[in-house]
A = this chain, B = another copy of it.
Amino acid sequence: MPAAARKKPVKRRRSPIQSRGQATVDAIVEAAAQILARKGPAAATTNAVAARAGVSIGTLYQYFADREALLQEIGRRHVAEMQAVLADALTGIDGLALPAAVDRLVAAIVAMHRVAPRLHQALHQSLARDHLDTIDAFEVAVEAMVSQALAGRAELDLAHPALTATVLVRGLGGLIRTTLRREPERLDDPALALAMRAMILGTLGESRRRA
C-alpha cells in the first residue's frame, strides 16, 4: 500500500447497501430536518444531528461528504414533497371553470407551503447564497407550469402569459412566506384566501391583451 498522496482515504457518501444503512440515512436526514425546523440553521451542527439521529458522528460522514451535502439532501427531499403536494392539489384543474380553478390554485399553493413551513424557512436561510439551486429550480418549474396553464386558457387572452405567471407565482410565494414568518396562524384565515383570490383574478383581468 503506497502511502502516496491520498486526498480521500475513505470514499465518503457511500450508498447504503443493506436496509440498515438506508434506515440510518433516513434517521440522519430526519433528525437534521427537525433541528433545522425547530431551532434554525445555526443549531443544526453535524454533531447535534448525529446525536439526535442516534448515530455517531462518524456514521454521518459515512453517508454525507460534508454538512453541505446533508443540507442539500434535505432540500431535495423537501422540494420533492412540495412538488407532490402541489401536483396532487392541482389534478383536474384544467377542467374547472376559472373561478373554481383559481380557488384550487390558491389552496394548492397554500397547502404546498404548509408541508413544512419552518423547514422551508430554514432552508431558504441556510441554503441561500449557495445551494438554493434545488429550491430555485423548483420555483422555476412552478412558474413554467403556471405559465403553461395560463396560456392554455384562451378565455384569459393574456398578453404575456409567462410574465403574468412570474408575477403571480413570485408574488404569492412572497406573500405566503412573509405571512408564514410573521403571522403563521393567519394562513388559515379565510379572508386571506379571498384576498389572494382577488389578487389573482384581478391580475389576470388586468393582464389581458386589450385592457
Interchain CA distance A160-B129 in the complex, whole Å: 38
Assess the A178–B174 pair: CB atoms within 8 A.
yes
Interchain CA distance A121-B128 in the complex, whole Å: 9
Return the CB mask of A179-203 against B: 1 if under 8 Å, else 0: 1011000000001100110110111
Q: In this complex, what residue of B is CB-closest to A40?
A: B129
Residues on B with beta carbons closer than 8 Å to the beta carbon of A170: 174-175, 178-179
Assess the A191–B178 pair: CB atoms within 8 A.
no
Q: Is the CB of A55 closer than 8 A to any CB of chain B?
A: no
Q: Is the CB of A205 closer than 8 A to any CB of chain B?
A: yes
Interchain CA distance A179-B167 in the complex, whole Å: 10
Q: Nearest 3 A-B pairs (CB), nearest first?
A: A174-B174, A202-B202, A202-B206
Can you pick out 23 interface pairs between chain A and chain B where the beta carbons lie within 8 Å of each other?
A: A40-B129, A125-B129, A136-B182, A139-B178, A160-B191, A163-B191, A164-B195, A164-B198, A167-B192, A167-B195, A167-B196, A167-B198, A167-B199, A168-B199, A170-B174, A171-B172, A171-B174, A171-B175, A172-B174, A174-B178, A199-B203, A201-B202, A203-B203
